[in-house]
Chain A
Amino acid sequence: MAFVPVAMGFDLAQGWFAGLKKELEPLGVNVISRDPNWSTSAGAQAVTSLISEKPDLMVVHNPDVQTYAKLLRRAEKTGIPVVQINMRSNYDSVMYVGADWVDIGELATNAVVTACQGKSNKIAIVQGALSAAASAYTLKGVENVLAKNPAIKVVSSQAADWDAAKAKGITQTVLKQHPDLCGIVGFWDGMDIGTAAAIKEAGLTGKVFLATSGGGEQKGACDQVKSGGFDLNISYDVPTQASNMASSIKWLLQNEGKTGTAKGSVYTTLIPITKANASVPGTCWKLSQN
Chain B
Amino acid sequence: MNETITKDAGNHERLSDTLTRWRYTYWPDHALGEILSKRWMETAIPVVVLLLVAFSLAQVIPNFLSAASLSDTSRQAGEIGFIVLGMALVMIVGGIDLSVGSMFALTNFCALFLMHVLKWPMMAAIPVTLVFGAALGAVNGILIGYFRLRAFLTTLITLIIYRATYELLTADYATAIAGGMPDSEAWDFLGYGDWVGIPVVVYVYAAVALLGHILLTRLRPGWHITAIGGSRRSAYNTGIAVRRTVAMCYVSSGLLTAVGGIFFASRLATAGGDIGVGLEVTVLTAAVLGGISLGGGNGSVMKALVGTLIVLLIINGITSMSLDGGYNRMVLGAILLSAAAIDIRWLKNKHRIVSKVYVSPTYHSIPPAPSTAPDCGTAWALNDRLRNVSAIGLGRIEGPEDVILDRNDHLYAGSRHGDIIRFLAPDYEEMEVFAHIGGTPLGMAFDREDNLYVCIGGMGLYKVTPERKVEKVTDETNRSFSSINDDSRLRLADDLDITDGGLIFFSEATVRFEMHEWATDGLEARGNGRIICYDTNTGKTNTVIRNLKFPNGVCIASDGQSFLFAETWGCSVKRYWFEGPKKGTTEIVLENLPGFPDNINNSSDGNYWMSLVGMRCPALDLAWKMPGFRSRMAKRVPRDEWLFPNINTGCVLKFNEQGEVLETLWDMGGENHPMITSMREHRGYLFLGGIMNNRVGRIKLENVDPNYVQYDKRWGKIK
Contacts and interface: CB of A to CB of B under 8 A. Distances in A.
Contact of A66 (B178, B192, B319, B320): B178
A39 B268 CA distance: 13
Interface stretch (A47-55, A103-111, A173-181, A239-247): A47-55
Interface size class of A (residues with CB under 8 A): 35 or more
B62 A159 contact: no
A112 interface: no
A42 B275 CA distance: 10
Contacts of A131: 174-175, 177-178, 270-272
A214 to B, nearest CB: 20
A32 interface: yes
B178 A65 contact: yes
A158 B175 CA distance: 13
A166 B647 CA distance: 80
A38 B322 contact: no
A8 interface: yes
A52 B66 contact: yes
Nearest to B320: A49
A37 B181 CA distance: 27
A66 B322 contact: no
B326 interface: yes
Given A33-B322, A49-B72, A42 B174 contact: no
A15 interface: no
A40 B171 contact: no
A138 to B, nearest CB: 12
A66 B174 CA distance: 10
A40 B272 contact: yes
Most A CB within 10 A of own CB, among B170, B273, B323: B273
A35 B319 CA distance: 7
Nearest to B176: A131
A42 B181 CA distance: 22
A161 interface: yes
B231 interface: no
Nearest to B329: A37
A269 interface: no
A64 B192 CA distance: 20
Contact of B273 (A7, A44, A130): A130
Contacts of A48: 72
B340 to A, nearest CB: 24
A9 interface: yes
A66 B179 CA distance: 8
Interface in A23-81: 32-42, 44-46, 48-49, 51-53, 63-67, 69-70
A124 B381 CA distance: 112
A130 B324 contact: no
Contact of B316 (A35, A49, A51): A49
Interface string B251-280: 000000000000010001111111100000
* Pairs of residues from A and B, 8 with the lowest C-beta to C-beta distance, nearest first: A37-B325, A52-B68, A130-B174, A131-B178, A67-B270, A161-B273, A35-B325, A40-B272
Interface of B: 62-63, 66, 68-69, 72, 76, 170-171, 174-175, 177-178, 181, 191-192, 264, 268-275, 315-316, 319-320, 322-326, 328
Given A36-B319, A37-B328, A67-B270, 10 more contacts: A37-B324, A38-B325, A40-B268, A40-B272, A40-B274, A51-B68, A66-B270, A129-B272, A131-B177, A161-B273
